[in-house]
């Protein structure tokens, strides 16, 4: 790297972005400031907690800005005269007035293979849609969401046992490696940006807690992907009756089972039954779902097998 490292403003909020901030600091880049979201109440006690990126910035003694609106810090950013702005999971659209400040512009690290899966939930959407691969895309930013020209892409396979958490961690680490690899090329101008094909663009939505509700008329494979896409948050859930009371049952891990001829019966969607190994299965719109890990509200996470030992009466009942 040059004797005078480029001056950077880093924008990001969740744990995903911390890997990239760590890599920039450890590789000697001059980070003028970090811009992140406001501290928020977390957990049952609603304790006011700083975002992960802020915690990392404080550790490195980097100045932190937490504006309600980015327009309010435009003059501060201009005064700092950054060479480059790096955005990683910041969560807000960056206005053109800020993007035009640095001499090398602004780049965004996005966890999908753009132009597919623009927007706030690219990892979840890739899992839900049964994609075989995903990756990191670094783009030169413009004022549109995730629509700037592509500077670099790195691909990774989505494995059979992957879920949101495992892919999130893998792409977080990969984004840091890719960022350090291409920064010198951005500075010396050796990367030729490639415009995105707008005809291939797809968009994702904000995930809500309600998205975790399981509908048992759907195929088992679709429900399995839903469980993986929403682990650990917002989580997937169903309801069952215990002593005439509806209780929420979280499904933390499950996989599709094609029933053997001996198990093929006319069951209702959501009906609980067991196989010859006393495992907990649920009938779906197509095939069955074997519940590996579950959590009844107010209880600890246990295996489906152990759950049946404690609640054998639910065999034959219908999950709602």
- Model confidence pLDDT, tens digit, residues 292-306: 999 999 899 999 999
Question: Are 162 and 234 in the same domain?
Answer: no
Percent of the chain with pLDDT over 90: 86
Question: Are 125 and 155 in the same domain?
Answer: yes
Does residue 159 lie within any of the structural domains?
yes
Does residue 23 lie within any of the structural domains?
yes
Does residue 297 lie within any of the structural domains?
yes
Asked whether residue 3 carries a pLDDT value surpassing 70, the answer given is no
pTM of the model: 0.93
Does residue 319 lie within any of the structural domains?
no
Asked whether residue 106 carries a pLDDT value surpassing 90, the answer given is yes
Are residues 207 and 234 in contact, defined by beta-carbon separation less than 8 angstroms?
yes
Residue ending a domain, among 174, 200, 226, is 200
Residue ending a domain, among 143, 168, 200, is 200
Are residues 203 and 114 in contact, defined by beta-carbon separation less than 8 angstroms?
no
CA distance linking residue 100 with residue 142, whole number of Å: 9
pLDDT value of residue 63: 97
- Which two structure tokens, joined as six digits, stand for 128? 């839900």
Percent of the chain with pLDDT over 70: 97
Question: Are 82 and 145 in the same domain?
Answer: yes
Does residue 41 lie within any of the structural domains?
yes
Question: Are 176 and 73 in the same domain?
Answer: yes
Does residue 1 lie within any of the structural domains?
no
Question: Are 118 and 44 in the same domain?
Answer: yes
Which residues 6+ apart lie within 8 Å of 100 measured at CB?
none
Mean of the per-residue pLDDT values of the chain:
93
Which residues 6+ apart lie within 8 Å of 94 measured at CB?
11, 70, 85, 87, 106, 141, 143
CATH of the domain at 220: 3.10.25.10
Asked whether residue 119 carries a pLDDT value surpassing 70, the answer given is yes
Are residues 52 and 13 in contact, defined by beta-carbon separation less than 8 angstroms?
yes
Which residues 6+ apart lie within 8 Å of 314 measured at CB?
240, 242, 272, 308
Overall domain count for the chain: 2
Question: Are 78 and 97 in the same domain?
Answer: yes
pLDDT digits (tens, 9 = 90+) for 13-70: 999 999 999 999 999 999 999 999 999 988 778 889 999 999 999 999 999 999 999 9
Which domain range does residue 194 map to? 7-200
Asked whether residue 279 carries a pLDDT value surpassing 60, the answer given is yes
Are residues 269 and 263 in contact, defined by beta-carbon separation less than 8 angstroms?
no
Question: Are 178 and 45 in the same domain?
Answer: yes
Question: Are 155 and 242 in the same domain?
Answer: no
Q: Could you give phi then psi for residue 40, rounded to 5 degrees?
A: -135, 155
pLDDT value of residue 233: 94
Question: Are 163 and 96 in the same domain?
Answer: yes
Asked whether residue 209 carries a pLDDT value surpassing 50, the answer given is yes
Confidence of residue 2 (pLDDT cuts 50, 70, 90): very low
| Mean pLDDT, residues 95-111 taken together | 96
Asked whether residue 1 carries a pLDDT value surpassing 50, the answer given is no
Question: Are 59 and 187 in the same domain?
Answer: yes
Q: Under the phi-then-psi rule, with left for phi > 0, alpha for psi from -120 to 50, and beta for the rest, what region is 270?
A: left
Does residue 320 lie within any of the structural domains?
no
Asked whether residue 220 carries a pLDDT value surpassing 60, the answer given is yes
| Mean pLDDT, residues 259-276 taken together | 80
Question: Are 195 and 217 in the same domain?
Answer: no
CA-derived radius of gyration, the chain: 23
3-state secondary structure of 251: strand
pLDDT value of residue 42: 83
pLDDT value of residue 264: 62
Beta strands in the chain (DSSP E): 7-12, 30-35, 40-42, 47-49, 64-65, 84-88, 106-110, 133-140, 150-157, 236-242, 245-257, 272-274, 280-283, 288-296, 302-303
Question: Are 264 and 130 in the same domain?
Answer: no
Does residue 195 lie within any of the structural domains?
yes
CA distance linking residue 211 with residue 189, whole number of Å: 43
Residue ending a domain, among 176, 200, 224, is 200
| Mean pLDDT, residues 172-191 taken together | 95
CATH of the domain at 114: 3.40.50.170
Q: What is the DSSP letter of 271?
A: B
């Amino acid at each position: 790297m040059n004797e005078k490292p480029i001056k950077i403003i880093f924008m990001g909020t969740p744990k995903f972005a911390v890997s990239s901030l760590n890599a920039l600091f450890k590789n000697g880049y001059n980070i003028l400031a970090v811009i992140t979201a406001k501290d928020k109440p977390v957990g049952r006690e609603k304790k006011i907690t700083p975002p992960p990126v802020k915690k990392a910035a404080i550790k490195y003694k980097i100045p932190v800005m937490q504006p309600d609106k980015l327009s309010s810090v435009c003059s501060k950013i201009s005064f700092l005269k950054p060479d480059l702005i790096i955005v990683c999971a910041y969560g807000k659209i960056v206005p053109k007035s800020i993007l035009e400040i640095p001499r090398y512009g602004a780049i965004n690290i996005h966890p999908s293979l753009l132009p597919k899966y623009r927007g706030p939930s690219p990892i979840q959407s890739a899992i839900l849609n049964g994609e075989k691969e995903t990756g990191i895309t670094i783009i030169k930013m413009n004022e549109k969401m995730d629509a700037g020209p592509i500077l670099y892409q790195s691909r990774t396979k989505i494995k059979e046992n992957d879920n949101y958490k495992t892919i999130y961690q893998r792409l977080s680490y990969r984004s840091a490696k890719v960022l350090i690899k291409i920064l010198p090329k951005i500075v010396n101008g050796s990367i030729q940006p490639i415009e995105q094909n707008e005809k291939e663009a797809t968009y994702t939505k904000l995930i809500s807690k309600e998205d975790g509700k399981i509908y048992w008329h759907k195929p088992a494979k679709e429900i399995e992907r839903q469980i993986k896409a929403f682990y650990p948050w917002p989580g997937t859930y169903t309801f069952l009756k215990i002593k005439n009371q509806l209780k929420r049952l979280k499904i933390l891990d499950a996989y599709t089972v094609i029933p053997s001829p001996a198990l093929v019966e006319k069951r209702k969607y959501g009906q609980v039954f067991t196989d010859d190994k006393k495992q907990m299965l649920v009938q779906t719109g197509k095939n069955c779902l074997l519940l590996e890990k579950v959590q009844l509200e107010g209880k600890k996470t246990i295996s489906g097998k152990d759950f049946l030992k404690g609640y054998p009466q639910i065999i034959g009942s219908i999950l709602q």
